[in-house]
Amino acid sequence: MSNLLDGIKPTLLMGPGPSCVYDEVYAALGKPTIGHLDPYFIKIMDAVKEDLMAAIGTGNHLTMPMSGTGSSGMETCFVNLVEPGDKVLILTNGVFGKRMEDVAGRLGAEVDSVHFEWGTPVLLEEVEKKLKGKSYAIVAVVHAETSTGVRNPVAEVGRLVRSSGALYLVDCVTSLGGIPVRMDEWGADALYSGTQKCLSCPPGLAPLSFSDRAVNRVKARKSKVPNWYLDLTMIMHYWEGNTRAYHHTAPINMIYALYAALRHFLEEGQDKAHARHQDAHERLVAGLEKLGISMYVDKASRLPMLNAVTIPQGVDDAGVRSRLLKEYGIEIGNGLGTLAGKIWRIGLMGHTARPENVDRLLAALASCIK
Amino acid sequence: MSNLLDGIKPTLLMGPGPSCVYDEVYAALGKPTIGHLDPYFIKIMDAVKEDLMAAIGTGNHLTMPMSGTGSSGMETCFVNLVEPGDKVLILTNGVFGKRMEDVAGRLGAEVDSVHFEWGTPVLLEEVEKKLKGKSYAIVAVVHAETSTGVRNPVAEVGRLVRSSGALYLVDCVTSLGGIPVRMDEWGADALYSGTQKCLSCPPGLAPLSFSDRAVNRVKARKSKVPNWYLDLTMIMHYWEGNTRAYHHTAPINMIYALYAALRHFLEEGQDKAHARHQDAHERLVAGLEKLGISMYVDKASRLPMLNAVTIPQGVDDAGVRSRLLKEYGIEIGNGLGTLAGKIWRIGLMGHTARPENVDRLLAALASCIK
């Protein structure tokens, strides 16, 4: 019986995630599994919590990784905060805003949304108008729209939302580690992320944080959280306090990996890590322009870690991506939804965001499109 | 900054899970991360699916690991199958039966339950009586009750349930890999497990399978599945077919680990693996009896991989467990719920189920209780 794992080829991951994983993180994954209630494991949990608080800029006690991939963080926020009939406003300019609408709607929320053209950012005046017209329980937005490469003005939106009295929910799946995430400064009440983007850890956990206002909202619910697995009122007793209560068995080795990834980020220094992403992005843009490939998003709203580029006319979308992967060992991403066939998504996330990787891609791309 | 991961001590995991992990599984975890839509990763997914089908004894197409720990498998079954007002019967004789009642209730099911004394099995005559009195949409039971060490007669219950017309849901979290799991023979329609028990993989995934009857029930729902993250109608398009549609980013390295763990189980041979569990169990029981420690469960219903033992009078429950961990590097489990302080739970799961481990525990236990 052949072992498929022996045939895995190291790949330069330049898609929308996962990104290339740090050696320390691979090493962490293989550390001996210990019990999920072992006092030493609880020490590691506490360190992960503290590092996460630093990474996302919050003093929130309820800060920890959920036992699922990034989308489980989205699900956790809505399922804990929404009660049937709650008015929820979603600011949508891509797939992940649309996903929020779907998630909230399934939970019985009365969902309103403001749609912005894909590839453009959320506009504050539209948000302001909407908030004046109606009172919302929750307003939600995506910081870094992975489907379009757009950065939304989350700090400015936060000021509008806070003065409206609504809870403010921000998706930081792709932003965390690549551009500043400052939960408390933004006035955000609920925030989630993923591990496989700019933290350069494999997928499997969803870092999450709730403000005291959000926790109070959950505690004041009239009905039980309609999801046992993601019920924060129980999970918090595993991640907090002197006696840790069993809820579900935490994904122990993935938590080792997140510990190592967060240490890497904080030891490099947040500012330095962000600057590394920006530098790699600028190098990529300059190189693409030389190849005659243009960016899909205006400069002011571009994300450094997710570069949406217009596929040049006459170039075979799937053919180029397949050649890059097979011949050059480089993965880039396709367009989603209405952008399928129109854009590629080039990720410069975490460990991937280095000049030598940018150059390797540019050279490969040049020979694939000529 | 010291690295906590360097201080992790290899532990002999003899609690209710996680169990000791195979070296091949640790190695698998550290293999290079590749894309979740990479054709080579899809090959690995297909192999995992095929091996899972063999391990749980089913021909069901919808068989794959959910991206969460074992409890997310429970959540997935109920959230996909239950619509508000559905009549659900839970056969309960421990914590995990109680958990099912909670999960189903949160989803709006009309939950009935038959309770059996903890430490004793589900009785067929009670089930038969209950099924005669009312028509149920779903009947659910736990195969191996991790909280009590009891094996429930799932094949016999299955015959009763199938003739009643209800869907049959079986929790195989602790049984899979340690005693035979034969989904199709039992007539089960929905089944889930965990990775960190007798498969000896770290926690993080929930193997799951739905019969065609169950899939049809999901497809005939009047309302959307009220959980985006666990919605099988979408997830099946990532795990099946010629074109794989992105849903969420799969926990890639954990899937490598499950691949390696399943291969280990199937290459050892299912019968041999089950016999190894039984042998270790019998050795443990004989040794405990010599120490004057008695089993909590009658012989006919004992699980080999989860041994509930009565804490001898005058012995300090937490003190002994703490000494075992600190001085001998062995973890055993405490009692849950009404059994707290009354029993210990000694796991002999997967890689842990070996005579040398049994002997090491018996020697350590002898010196801790004398």
Distant-in-sequence, close-in-space partners of B313: CB < 8 Å, separation ≥ 6: none
Asked if the Cβ–Cβ distance from A226 to B106 is below 8 Å, we say yes
When pLDDT is cut at 50, 70 and 90, the band that residue A370 belongs to is confident
**What's the distance, Cα to Cα, between the start and end of chain B in Å?**
42
Domain positions in chain A are: 4-18+269-369, 30-266
Nearest by CB: A31 against B5, B196, B336: B5
Question: Per-residue pLDDT tens for A120-168?
Answer: 999 999 999 999 999 999 999 999 999 999 999 999 999 999 999 999 9
Distant-in-sequence, close-in-space partners of A229: CB < 8 Å, separation ≥ 6: A67, A248, B68, B71, B72, B74, B75
- Residues of chain B with Cβ-Cβ distance to A68 below 8 Å are 67-68, 72, 229
pLDDT at B345: 98
Q: Name the CATH topology of B25-266.
A: Aspartate Aminotransferase; domain 2 (3.40.640)
> In chain B, whose CA is at the least distance from the CA of A247?
B71
Instruction: Give the C-alpha separation, B77 to B104, whole Å.
Output: 9
User: At A115, which helix (H) or strand (E)?
Assistant: strand A110-115
Domain A4-18+269-369 of CATH type 3.50.50.60: no
Asked if the Cβ–Cβ distance from A40 to B79 is below 8 Å, we say no
- Residues of chain A with Cβ-Cβ distance to B21 below 8 Å are 32-33
- Residues of chain A with Cβ-Cβ distance to B318 below 8 Å are none
- Residues of chain B with Cβ-Cβ distance to A67 below 8 Å are 68-69, 72, 204
Check: CB of residue B19 under 8 Å from CB of residue B197.
Answer: yes
pLDDT at B1: 62
pTM of structure: 0.98
Nearest by CB: B254 against A105, A204, A260: A204
Asked if the Cβ–Cβ distance from A331 to B47 is below 8 Å, we say no
Instruction: Give the C-alpha separation, A272 to A276, whole Å.
Output: 6
User: Smallest CA–CA separation between B72 and chain A, in Å?
Assistant: 6
Instruction: Give the C-alpha separation, A208 to A153, whole Å.
Output: 20
- Residues of chain A with Cβ-Cβ distance to B255 below 8 Å are none
> In chain A, whose CA is at the least distance from the CA of B41?
A8
pLDDT at B242: 83
CB-neighbour burial class of residue B120 (10 A; exposed 0-12, middle 13-18, buried 19+): middle
Distant-in-sequence, close-in-space partners of B32: CB < 8 Å, separation ≥ 6: A8, A9, A10, A11, A21, A26
Residue of A8, A96, A192, A198 best to disrupt the B interface, most CBs of B under 10 A: A8
pLDDT at A40: 97
User: Smallest CA–CA separation between A253 and chain B, in Å?
Assistant: 7
Residue of A44, A229, A322 best to disrupt the B interface, most CBs of B under 10 A: A229
For all residues of chain A together, what is the average pLDDT? Answer: 97
CB-neighbour burial class of residue B198 (10 A; exposed 0-12, middle 13-18, buried 19+): buried
Nearest by CB: A253 against B79, B202, B325: B202
Asked if the Cβ–Cβ distance from B229 to A71 is below 8 Å, we say yes
Per DSSP, A159 falls in state H
Asked if the Cβ–Cβ distance from A40 to B103 is below 8 Å, we say no
Asked if the Cβ–Cβ distance from B9 to A40 is below 8 Å, we say yes
The residue-averaged pLDDT of A41-65 equals 98
Check: CB of residue A200 under 8 Å from CB of residue A65.
Answer: no
Show pLDDT as tens, one digit a residue, over chain B (370 residues).
689 999 999 999 999 999 999 999 999 999 999 999 999 999 999 999 999 999 999 999 999 999 999 999 999 999 999 999 999 999 999 999 999 999 999 999 999 999 999 999 999 999 999 999 999 999 999 999 999 999 999 999 999 999 999 999 999 999 999 999 999 999 999 999 999 999 999 999 999 999 999 999 999 999 999 999 999 999 999 999 888 999 999 999 999 999 999 999 999 999 999 999 999 999 999 999 999 999 999 999 999 999 999 999 999 999 999 999 999 999 999 999 999 999 999 999 999 999 999 999 999 999 999 8
For the cut 70, the answer to whether the pLDDT of residue A1 exceeds it is: no
Check: CB of residue B147 under 8 Å from CB of residue B118.
Answer: yes
3-state secondary structure of A88: strand
Question: Per-residue pLDDT tens for A55-89?
Answer: 999 999 999 999 999 999 999 999 999 999 999 99
Instruction: Give the C-alpha separation, B71 to A247, whole Å.
Output: 9
pLDDT at B145: 98
pLDDT at B19: 98
Q: Name the CATH topology of A30-266.
A: Aspartate Aminotransferase; domain 2 (3.40.640)
Nearest by CB: A4 against B47, B107, B227: B47
User: Smallest CA–CA separation between A109 and chain B, in Å?
Assistant: 11
Instruction: Give the C-alpha separation, A298 to B280, whole Å.
Output: 66
> In chain B, whose CA is at the least distance from the CA of A204?
B251
Asked if the Cβ–Cβ distance from A69 to B250 is below 8 Å, we say yes
Question: What is the DSSP pairing of strand B144-145 with strand B150-151?
Answer: antiparallel
Size of interface A-B (CB pairs under 8 A): 223
Instruction: Give the C-alpha separation, B333 to B293, whole Å.
Output: 15
Query: What is the CB neighbour count within 10 angstroms for residue A333?
Result: 24
Query: Counting every residue, how long is chain A?
Result: 370
- Residues of chain B with Cβ-Cβ distance to A15 below 8 Å are 35
- Residues of chain B with Cβ-Cβ distance to A248 below 8 Å are 69-72
Asked if the Cβ–Cβ distance from B68 to A229 is below 8 Å, we say yes
User: Smallest CA–CA separation between A127 and chain B, in Å?
Assistant: 26
User: Smallest CA–CA separation between A260 and chain B, in Å?
Assistant: 8
Distant-in-sequence, close-in-space partners of A299: CB < 8 Å, separation ≥ 6: none
- Residues of chain B with Cβ-Cβ distance to A203 below 8 Å are 36, 249-252
pLDDT at A108: 97
